[in-house]
Amino acid sequence: MLGCIGDTPLVELNGLLRDIPARVFAKLELANPGGSIKDRTALNMLLHKIHAAELVPNRSVVIESSSGNLAIGIAQVCRYFGLRFICVVDAKTTAQNIAILRAFQAEIEIIDRPDPATGEYLPERIRRVRELLTEHPEGYWPNQYANPLNPAAHHRTMQEIIAALPAPPDFIFCATSTCGTLTGVLDYVREQALATRVVAVDAVGSAIFGDESRHRLIPGHGASARPPLLAATGTYPVVHVSDLDCVVGCRRLMAREAILAGGSSGGVISALERFRDRIPAGATCVLVFPDRGERYLNTIYSDQWVQQNFGDVSHLWKESGIAAAGRH
């Protein structure tokens, strides 16, 4: 099963932006067995410890805070190796993700009250992780927010992209959360002295790049605080996208490419559209799609949920005639 993590498809998007003068490819991280790019992160953060005999089956405890995808990635690796996993989630975690975690036999702790000072759940989740570590001295906290093994996992992601194209891409668009993907891609580009320009895609209402944290509807995109992993990175373009941008991007992707992707993938698509005037003719762009869309069926892909939160906006992605007609 672990051999299925990585080597995800890189597919050309022929119908998404038919008037853009560039080739656009998508790295489909949704093809990982746990459904997201976080499978890479989970495996890299745990496998090093297992090989060093610092994590021992039937004895060691892995403790982590996660809103969904990383938790699922860790849960499947822990189940494979027979490691106990305690996952700290919060009240915003979807029932589907909790059900998946329980299927993998993860132990779940739900934080139901946000931090009184910030109004965010993350500080309370981290506080609970620290408490659990005192209760379990043998516990290992991967700490996706600060662990250098998180971005290190994405050197391989970049290697796969480079190997699949005739030349390194001119642009690569990465959604941000822990900033593991962004930092790993940036590190690889610098180490290999590539001319690739990396574009960070953040959520409106995220505090990653210094804005004030505000309520967001789409989970797993953006963060309520600046992740430590971002500290060593340099200067690069940042595009902020709204929750509605994510919805529209996902719906357009489904209508024009028949790809069911998650919320941050829609944000990446909207960021490309916003950035299009800075992309020269003949350029090659790669969009990293972090996860699959099945976990968003009750939100992004629900007409009722979209109507309740944004009103009647279906005209933003619906087209007259057959969407695929422009391919022929």
Q: Is the pLDDT of residue 232 over 70?
A: no
Confidence at 159, pLDDT banded by 50, 70, 90: very high
Distance (Å, rounded) from C-alpha 5 to C-alpha 120?
Answer: 32
Confidence at 237, pLDDT banded by 50, 70, 90: very high
Using only C-alpha atoms, the chain has a radius of gyration, in whole angstroms, of 19
Q: Is the pLDDT of residue 234 over 80?
A: no
Confidence at 230, pLDDT banded by 50, 70, 90: confident
Q: Is the pLDDT of residue 31 over 70?
A: yes
| pLDDT value of position 213 | 84
Tokens of 318: 């619906």
Asked whether 160 and 8 are in contact (CB, 8 A), the reply is yes
Q: Is the pLDDT of residue 169 over 70?
A: yes
| pLDDT value of position 219 | 82
By mean pLDDT, which of 80-89, 216-225, 280-289, 292-301 is the weakest?
Answer: 216-225
| pLDDT value of position 117 | 84
pTM higher than 0.85 for the full model?
yes
Distance (Å, rounded) from C-alpha 173 to C-alpha 39?
Answer: 19
Question: What are the residues whose beta carbons fall under 8 Å from the beta carbon of 116, sequence distance 6 or more?
Answer: none
Asked whether 1 and 77 are in contact (CB, 8 A), the reply is no
| pLDDT value of position 243 | 96
**pLDDT (tens digit, 9 = 90+) per residue, 5-24?**
999 999 999 988 877 889 99
Confidence at 184, pLDDT banded by 50, 70, 90: very high
Q: Is the pLDDT of residue 327 over 50?
A: no
Asked whether 40 and 157 are in contact (CB, 8 A), the reply is yes
Which burial class, exposed, middle or buried, applies to 283 when counting CB atoms under 10 A from its CB (0-12, 13-18, 19+)?
middle
Average per-residue pLDDT for the chain: 92
Amino acid 70 reads L
Distance (Å, rounded) from C-alpha 38 to C-alpha 73?
Answer: 6
Sign of the dihedral through C-alpha 14, 19, 25, 30: negative
| pLDDT value of position 67 | 75
| pLDDT value of position 120 | 82
The pLDDT of 215-242, averaged and rounded, is: 85
| pLDDT value of position 100 | 94
> What string of H, E and C letters represents the secondary structure of the chain?
CHHHCCCCCEEECCCCCCCCCCEEEEEEHHHCCCCECHHHHHHHHHHHHHHCCCCCCCCCEEEEECCCHHHHHHHHHHHHHCCEEEEEEECCCCHHHHHHHHHCCCEEEEECCCCCCCCCCHHHHHHHHHHHHHHCCCEECCCCCCCCHHHHHHHHHHHHHHHHCCCCCCEEEEECCCCHHHHHHHHHHHHCCCCCEEEEEEECCCCCCCCCCCCCCCCCCCCCCCCHHHCCCCCCCEEEECHHHHHHHHHHHHHHHCCCECHHHHHHHHHHHHHHHHCCCCCEEEEEECEECHHHCCCCCCHHHHHHHHCCCHHHCCCCCCHHHHHC
| pLDDT value of position 231 | 62
**72-103 burial code (b ≥16 CB/10 A, e <16):** bbbbbbbeebebbbbbbbbeebbeebbebbee
| pLDDT value of position 322 | 31
Asked whether 206 and 226 are in contact (CB, 8 A), the reply is no
| pLDDT value of position 318 | 85
Question: What are the residues whose beta carbons fall under 8 Å from the beta carbon of 295, sequence distance 6 or more?
Answer: 35, 68, 94, 96, 97, 262
Amino acid 69 reads N
Confidence at 320, pLDDT banded by 50, 70, 90: very low
Distance (Å, rounded) from C-alpha 271 to C-alpha 269?
Answer: 5
Residue with tokens 């891609």: 185
